[in-house]
Amino acid sequence: MTATSTTSATLLGGAVSVTNGTVQVHDAAALATSRLDPLVHQAVFGSDSDKRFARWLLWEIGQIVGVRAASIHELYLARGAGKCGGFTVPAINVRAMAYDTARAIFRTATKMEAGAFILEIARSEIAYTEQRPEEYVSVMLGAALREGFRGPVFIQGDHFQVNHKKYAVDPVTEVNAVKALVTEAVAAGFYNIDVDTSTLVDLSKATLAEQQRLNYEVCVDITRFVRAAEPKGVTISIGGEIGEVGTENSTPEELEAFMEGFNTTLAAEAPGMAGLSKISVQSGTSHGGVVLPDGSIADVALDLDTLETLSKIARDRYGMAGAVQHGASTLPDAAFNNFPKRETAEIHLATNFQNIMFDHLPQDLLQEVYAWLDANAKDERKVTDSDAQFYYKTRKKAIGPFKKKLWALPAELRAKLGAAYDAKFEFLFTQLAIGGTAKAVQQFVTVPEQRRPFPDGASTIVAAPDDADLSD
């Protein structure tokens, strides 16, 4: 046994032991205490060997006590078959202060007996928040353990997106970059993947089928790659997308053109292979919201009728859970209870949690962030941007460079921020009607045990190429 393993196990005060590469949990209750915090910190900020061990230990502890990365595919197919419904799954992009944020999510989930929620990170976010998939999974599982949560943990790759500009120059290299990210993510424990090839929709074509052709053909290609990467006993939940968020609203005809093309192509190329569990559409939102010169967010004309119609078509005709709403965290509070009423399958929430964090930062640190943006994000500033607009739109890019300082904020401030997160997540979980969904998850979701070998050498996981200039 290495010195690294001995030290790391000791951090848990004897609650866990590691013998000949095998983990034993002696005191599961002790995991939900501050004893776990140094291990999670080590998984993020330790040396390479310390990171590998801490991440492995967190994964193995989770396997033992029932905190396992899982696919939501079976729950979504059950919904498509009419076996459950009446709730909207929040997919939460955990960008900043990931451990504190995720702990608040799991606290709320435990309190409300919620099981149908997703923790996600987009291809772009992986880059600018400096959270590779293996780190992200470790922190999410660590947060669940720290709060005493038990049950499947749905971790999702959001917007595994094809960069249109790069595709136009070299389509093979760009698609392979997405596939490389899939390989990295699935190996880490991402068992839910949103494939976003909507950037390839060509509105210059005469028919909807032709407009969507490249979208569904490349989506099939990546879907087949995802399926080939699945671990034993896991069917990864895969989502497609028919319209880029922030563009024109989607129509039933577009959904049908994409799905008919996708299903026909998949059946021809890979007969019997599982297809999509959900479909992302555009209904009037934009990522991050539209920021006004004073820094406030503009009202959004959300088309709930379109969302409801597309969800129904997705369920009734294609057996999927329904439609997915992106870019929703900055919507007015009064909007959220509409989503379960309209049987929206999933809603993506990101920017507002980031905003809550920035609102709690000490002024000296905030000014340091702004100075960094002035120097490093100046190329993104439009001549018409006010300072408020520029900082609002770009401050997410400072999350990675300031990660260590954000994690090290004073305990009192972190407690205040945690309370703000608790209130927000409880509100959202209530509005989205996911309280009590742990029962549905338990009924439909299968989570096989997946043990991993002791990491006695260098990591075999290769980081995929970064691209921070995509949807998030």
Q: Give the separation between CA 69 and CA 141, rounded to whole angstroms.
A: 8
CA distances in angstroms from 59 to 32, 63, 139, 241, 455, listed in the order given: 15, 6, 10, 31, 12
Q: Give the separation between CA 459 and CA 431, rounded to whole angstroms.
A: 42
pLDDT at 284: 65
pLDDT at 261: 98
- Select from 90, 137, 51, 67 the least CA-distant residue to 350: 90
Q: Give the separation between CA 180 and CA 467, rounded to whole angstroms.
A: 12
pLDDT at 350: 92
Structure pTM?
0.94
pLDDT at 1: 37
pLDDT at 298: 53
Reply yes or no on domain 68-359+409-444 having CATH 3.40.50.620: no
Q: Give the separation between CA 90 and CA 85, rounded to whole angstroms.
A: 14
- The torsion angle over the Cα atoms of residues 413, 291, 309 and 321, rounded to 10 degrees, is -30
- The 3-state DSSP class for residue 238 equals strand
pLDDT digit string, tens, across residues 201-234: 999 999 999 999 999 999 999 999 999 999 999 9
pLDDT at 326: 87
pLDDT at 290: 53
pLDDT at 361: 97
Task: Say which DSSP state 462 is in.
Answer: P
CA 349 to chain centre: 9
pLDDT digit string, tens, across residues 251-278: 999 999 999 999 999 999 999 999 999 9
pLDDT at 285: 55
pLDDT at 299: 55
Going by their DSSP bridges, the two strands 22-25 and 16-19 should be labelled as antiparallel
Query: pLDDT under 50 in the chain at which residues?
Result: 1-3, 5, 7, 245-246, 287-289, 292
DSSP codes of every residue in 397-457 = GGTTTTHHHHHTS-HHHHHHHHHHHHHHHHHHHHHTT-TTTHHHHHHH------------S
Hey, where are the domains in the chain? 3-64, 68-359+409-444, 362-398
